[in-house]
Amino acid sequence: MFDVISRSDPGGLPPLQRLRGRMEISAKLVAGHTRLDRLYQEGSAKARLPKTPGTALEAILINTGGGMTGGDRLHVGVAAGAGAHLVATSQAAEKIYRSPQGEALMETRLEVGAGGRLDWLPQETILFQGGRFGRRLEADVAADGALLIVESTIFGRTARGEEVTDGQFADRWRVRRAGRLVFADTTRLDGDIATLLDRPAVAGGGRAVAALLHVTGDAEERLDAVRAVLEHHPAVEGGVSAWNGLLHARLVARTGIALRAALIELLQVLRGQPMPRAWLC
């Protein structure tokens, strides 16, 4: 669905169209296997459920709009019910194009029931010159549920040497376990993003960044394994901490290729299984 938003234009150009999409999917446990419980699709947001080995259900999320720009809105809700294991990824990188006015907004809602597991593994978001993007992620996890979140962002197509000297990026995470807020994080870059990323305390010249959060009972026990992975990727700098059943990592690299290689290995170690095929195409 593309909503037409009127504007005053003395040049007689047609009204702008704005993307609207909503996708909600939930999974439940049936006879030891995770099955689809509910799927709702509206507008540009779609989901496909490929057949995969194992007992988990995999969902591939698709934005048929082909990217986002100012005024576009996407809402995604993903829920793993009691005992279910749901893996959600994206078909390709999400692209945020130049925004004449306003920001593109993506809202994500994640839920994990008792003994359930949800892996939220979207591919990269690429912010182009002049792009303005807001990402809001809310998650609720049962006391004995497990949630793995990764979000990676590339500022300009690094393989082409692009720089983002004008743009906006705002990323807000709020995660609750058993109804209690256990993790809150907000990142905001506005204006000459390339210059901001050059600062040592921001990205030290990196153009590709990622944030990862693993909510699981044995988070502290996984810390050494994650750090060992990062030692194998000298082109990627990162910091990892674990406390109270949470493992949090931030990674930065000069290129998206270097960041992606480290993320794939790190996520496979944490998940104990290969990445979704969409990541490897």
Written as six digits, the tokens of 3 are 């909503």
Domain ranges of the chain: 20-279
Written as six digits, the tokens of 254 are 């000069």
Written as six digits, the tokens of 88 are 């959600």
Q: What is the 3-state secondary structure (H, E, C) of 169-192?
A: EEEEEEEEECCEEEEEEEEEEEEC
CA 176 to each of CA 16, 142, 185: distance values in angstroms, whole numbers, following the listed order:
38, 9, 12
Q: Which residues contact 116 (CB under 8 A, 6 or more apart)?
A: 29, 80, 81, 82, 83, 84, 85, 86, 142, 145, 146
Q: Which residues contact 167 (CB under 8 A, 6 or more apart)?
A: 127, 128, 129, 130, 131, 132, 155, 189, 190, 191, 193
Q: What is the pLDDT of residue 14?
A: 59
Is-contact 119 141, C-beta < 8 A? no
Which residue(s) pair with 126 in the sheet?
Answer: 95, 154
CA 49 and chain centroid, separation: 19
Which residue(s) pair with 8 in the sheet?
Answer: none
Burial of 32 (0-12, 13-18, 19+ CB in 10 A): exposed
Per-residue pLDDT of the chain (281 residues; tens, 9 = 90+): 334 344 444 455 455 678 899 999 999 999 999 999 999 999 999 999 999 988 899 999 999 988 999 999 999 999 999 999 999 999 999 999 999 888 999 999 999 999 999 999 999 999 999 999 999 999 999 999 999 999 999 999 877 888 999 999 999 999 999 999 999 999 999 999 999 999 999 999 999 999 999 999 999 999 999 999 999 999 999 999 999 999 999 999 999 999 999 999 999 999 999 999 999 87
Q: What is the pLDDT of residue 4?
A: 36
Closest by CA position to 96, among listed 120, 114, 117, 73: 73
